A and B are shown apart, each in its own frame.
Chain A
Amino acid sequence: MTMTDTTEHSHVHPTPETHLTPEEQQWVDAFMNDTTLFIGPDPLIMREHQIAERTPLEQRILELEADPLRADRIRRRLAGALDEAFEMCESMGAAPGAKWADLSVAVYTASGDVAYMSNRGVIAFSAVLHHPIRHIMKYWKDEPTVGIRPGDGFFHNDARFGMVHNTDQSMLVPVMREGEIIAWVGATIHEGENGACEPGGMPSGSETPFDDGLRASPIKIVEEGKLRRDLLTFLQHSTRDPKLMLADIKVKMGAVKRVMDIVDRAIEEYGVEAFVGAIRMTVEDVENEVRRRIGEMPDGTVTVNQFVDSTLKENILIKFAAKITVQGERLIVDLTGTGPEIINRAINSPLSSTKAFFAQAILSYWWPDLPRSTGALSPIEIISEVGTWADCSYDAPTGQNLQASFRAFTALQTAYAKLQFSVEEKYANVISPWFNQINNFLWGGTTQHGEQVGNLCADLNGMGGGAKAFHDGEDAVAPLFCAMADTGEQEVMEEEVPFLQLVSKRLVRDNQGFGKYRGGMGYEMIVAARNTDSWGFMTVTSGAKFSSVGGLFGGYGCPTYPLAMVKGINIFDIVKNDPSAFDLSMERVMNEQPYEGGSYTTYHMGLQFDIAQEGELYMISQGSGGGYGDVLERDPELVMEDLQLDRISAQVAHDIYRVAWNPDTYVVDAEATSKLRASERQERLRRGKPYAEFVAEFVTEEPPAELPYYGSWGQDNDQEVLATVWDHQGPKRVRGPISEIPLINVPNRHVMKIARLEARIAELEAKHGETVKRLV
């Protein structure tokens, strides 16, 4: 793996054992700095999430007596401006993501730390956008061919330089006074299309970083207020949707300008020092408050292990390990034991993106009252080694890095319940895990208006909420990354793109995380293309064999989710001829197979871009949040409510919740229910085994031989990970520290399938004595 990086060259000599004199070393460093091939992501910037040291100006200001009331007035003014700018992006943005709140607007310190962020939007941006600003400050500020002047604006999208994922695009603009940068204002939007190997900006099929699409390091696209046409053309030329690129760069410029106007007025009114002091004080205050709140948690270690069942091309199991330790005011998150990166699959995440979702959990589910600031993650220590799928190397594709980074969110969200349960002052409710997959259709092709597009449905925002300790989870309520997002207006979308959601927002029966309180449910979607010369769909998630989220304190997790397809039919012709056939649900269509000649198949949720003929059906379901508490403690009346609304089947009401009822009236038979539950408790005592006996029977030395498994096995020796690798003889399991695991290239699944089929043909030919001569 190669990466050229000036920092490494200027500060770390590649062979420290050599006997260069200090003077000679200086010559070497100077030579390397002068002859840098290219400036890649700087590890000194990219691996740090702590807030920066105070600048001399900040230091000078904060040494004086601070005025918290004045700082608060400035903050409130910024908050208003940021929310207004957020709404500008939402109402004017061309990207579906913008329309449904997948964006953020923020004010940063001079060094790039987020001081304040729009109340709505994606909180994870608060812990990742300091990276590109630090890159700009370190490499472009004093670079004669770039430089920074008032009115300049920088664009970037590559997550390896600090971004949630490559489909997001930024506009970062300096606030300057007397030639000095005193702050930054930025707007970032999930744009969708980015020229990747598949449309929509989040390719599940990328096998190299070059398949991930646009790879913009921070570039100055706006010079002194003017958008550079040559660079804009390059960006438009690099993606499938040039109109989107132009429109949203202008939208972000407009939103930033609005915030900048308020910043200018605040500075005019209060002065530079008050403004700089206010934003720096915010960052430091958040950091200090986080330390204080960590100190309120009990000392101890909570472990959350997650297992992900897909590379998005084939089913595997890869671990996301997290040990969260509290020691006084220290909180340490140790990812040791997490599975190795897979160098030709899209699921890997840069560490900075993974960390962004630690911040997402902290600022949305631990302490949602805190300002969204880089200071929130800053005091938390994170132990991770380059080379895992949650901390991938420069050469790994990251097209669908949410697969790893969302697990960071779930790790901390799950841990929260245990870390905070015995803390008196809580800032958010005790809650089960939120659903953590973007079960959704990405799409692309030629619209009914003749335009080339690629993007996604906003239904990914319909994740089911986790059950609370005192209430059922909310159905399809919000994505984990954005508390106030929208699932969008399907009718609006249908005016712009050539497919229909034939079924939208119909809850799937039994799609629950069961418990004393159940998780919020997800809904199903059935889509079909219409009136287009060229169209296709894809899906980008895991969780079709192993549940994506667990429950809490005895509650169960979510089910698993299939992709179902009916190819070779045109549903529009079918319902035109027989309108009664428009009674669609995934369950009915797949189990009854009512359309003659159709090919009915299921698939895991990693579908690479699939060409859709008119009227072919693609069906998925949103996921459920985890359940809370023992199912036998659920109020039988709540069970009946769900049964009457067809949220659960009679089988679940009886077999899981152990409720007896009158099927005509749905009146609970309290006595029979009590007996059923007592009987189930007796049954638990009968079948449950003591710990040592269970461990002896259940636990194995290593995973089942046929299961490709990645990560530590257990938690006693997290330094040692297991991996299935392929060599001349085929797959084999290896084990060792991450640094010694060979590069993992998963073979093409179609090639492997052909090999299996050829072997079967040879077997049948031998069995039937048939000799076939084939040229090879």
Chain B
Amino acid sequence: MRIPMTEYLLIDLDSERWLCRLCGHDLGDANGNYKEGTLIYDRNPQEIHPPVLDPERYEYTFAPDPNFCRIVEYYCPGCATQVEAEYLPPGHPLTVDMIWDVASLRERWAKSGKNPEEVLNYGPGENAIADLRAQFDQPTTRTHRN
């Protein structure tokens, strides 16, 4: 059984591994930090948030100050999907943003008897259409490539 835990990350209960939901790449022990299985890049925030006011003339321009703020980008090593982007001060240790109790997850879903890939959703509303099935073994489902 696989449980979608974020838009791009699954926990495979059988193997207790983090998997990329799009390509199935193994991102490590599901009891631990999925970031350890990603590729990581230190992005100058000005490349993402371009200055609107002339940076040659002004200190404050709509672009973050790279001496205060970096964007740490996490990519899946399999399909290169950006699974997380974290705004940090330069040099700040990376946040371990989620650690789950896999045994309790297993127990919960065993009790439910449902397939999480089929029943998980984005919440109420008729336009909240979600397809959170693993993409790597669903060749007929929509593609995430453009």
Could you tell me which A residues sit within 8 Å of B by CB distance? 298-305, 307, 309, 315, 317, 417-418, 421-422, 424, 426-430, 468-471, 508-511, 514, 516, 544-547, 550-557, 559-564, 586-587, 590-591, 600-604, 621, 628-633, 635-636, 649, 651-652, 655-656, 670, 673-674, 677-678, 680-682, 684-685, 687-692, 694-695, 697-700, 702-704, 707, 709, 713-716
Count of B interface residues, CB-CB < 8 Å: 83
**Of residues 97 to 121 in B, which have CB atoms within 8 Å of A's CB atoms?**
97-101, 104-105, 108, 112, 114, 116, 119-121
Q: Which residues of B contact A716 (CB under 8 A)?
A: 93
A698 and B60 form a contact (CB under 8 A): no
Q: Which residues of B contact A631 (CB under 8 A)?
A: 82
Chain B residues with CB under 8 A of A562: 53, 58, 60-62
Picked from B62, B79, B83, B84, the residue with its CB within 8 Å of the CB of A681 is: B79
Contact B121 A424 (CB under 8 A): yes
- How long is the Cα–Cα vector from A337 to B114 in the complex, in angstroms? 39
B contacts, CB < 8 Å to A: 3-8, 35-42, 45, 47-50, 52-54, 57-65, 67-69, 71-75, 77, 79-101, 104-105, 108, 112, 114, 116, 119-125, 127-130, 144-146
CB-CB under 8 A from B122, the residues of chain A are: 426, 429-430, 468-470
A547 in contact with B69 (CB, 8 Å):
yes
List the A side residues contacting B63 at CB < 8 Å: 559-560
Contact of A303 among B4, B52, B95, B129 (CB under 8 A): B95
Which residue, B58, B60, B61, has most C-beta atoms of chain A within 10 A? Answer: B60
Count: A-B pairs, CB below 8 Å: 283
A469 touches B128 (CB 8 A): yes
Chain B residues with CB under 8 Å of A471's CB are: 127
A300-B99, A673-B146 are known contacts; what are 12 more A-B pairs with Cβ within 8 Å?
Answer: A300-B100, A303-B98, A305-B88, A428-B124, A430-B122, A553-B84, A560-B64, A561-B62, A684-B41, A703-B90, A704-B90, A715-B93
Find the A residue at minimum CB distance from B64: A560
A424 partner, pick from B47, B101, B119, beta carbons under 8 A: B119
| Known interface pairs A670-B146, A709-B89; A299-B101 also in contact (CB < 8 Å) | yes
Cα A561 to Cα B99 in complex, Å, equals 33
A545-B65, A547-B45, A682-B80 are contacts. A424–B95 as well, Cβ < 8 Å? no
**Cβ of A586 and Cβ of B65 under 8 Å apart?**
no
Q: A674 contacts which of B85, B90, B146 (Cβ < 8 Å)?
A: B146
Whether A630 pairs with B82 at a CB distance below 8 angstroms is: yes
Q: How far is the CB of B85 from chain A (nearest CB, A)?
A: 6
Decide: A298 and B105 in contact? CB cutoff 8 A.
Answer: yes
Question: When A307-B87, A560-B49 are in contact, do A418 and B97 touch as well, CB less than 8 Å?
Answer: yes
Chain A residue contacts of B49, Cβ below 8 A: 510, 547, 556, 559-560
Complex-state Cα separation, A381 to B123, whole angstroms:
26
CA distance A422 to B90 in the complex (A): 32
**Cβ of A699 and Cβ of B58 under 8 Å apart?**
no
B92 adjacent to A510 (CB under 8 Å): no
Q: Among the listed B104, B127, B145, which residue makes an inter-chain contact with A298, where contact means beta carbons less than 8 Å apart?
A: B104
For A704, the chain B residues whose CB sits under 8 A away are 67, 89-91
Q: Are A715 and B95 in contact, CB atoms less than 8 angstroms apart? A: yes
The residue in chain B whose Cβ has the minimal distance to the Cβ of A429 is B123
Is there an interface contact between B91 and A690, defined as CB atoms closer than 8 Å? Answer: no
The 11 sampled A-B contact pairs (Cβ below 8 Å) are: A298-B108, A299-B104, A422-B4, A424-B116, A469-B7, A470-B130, A556-B71, A559-B52, A633-B146, A681-B81, A691-B36
Most interface-central of A547, A621, A632 (chain B CB within 10 A): A547
The CA of A632 and the CA of B79, in the complex, are separated in Å by: 12
A678 contacts across to B, CB distance below 8 A: 145
Contact of A514 among B48, B53, B96, B100 (CB under 8 A): B48
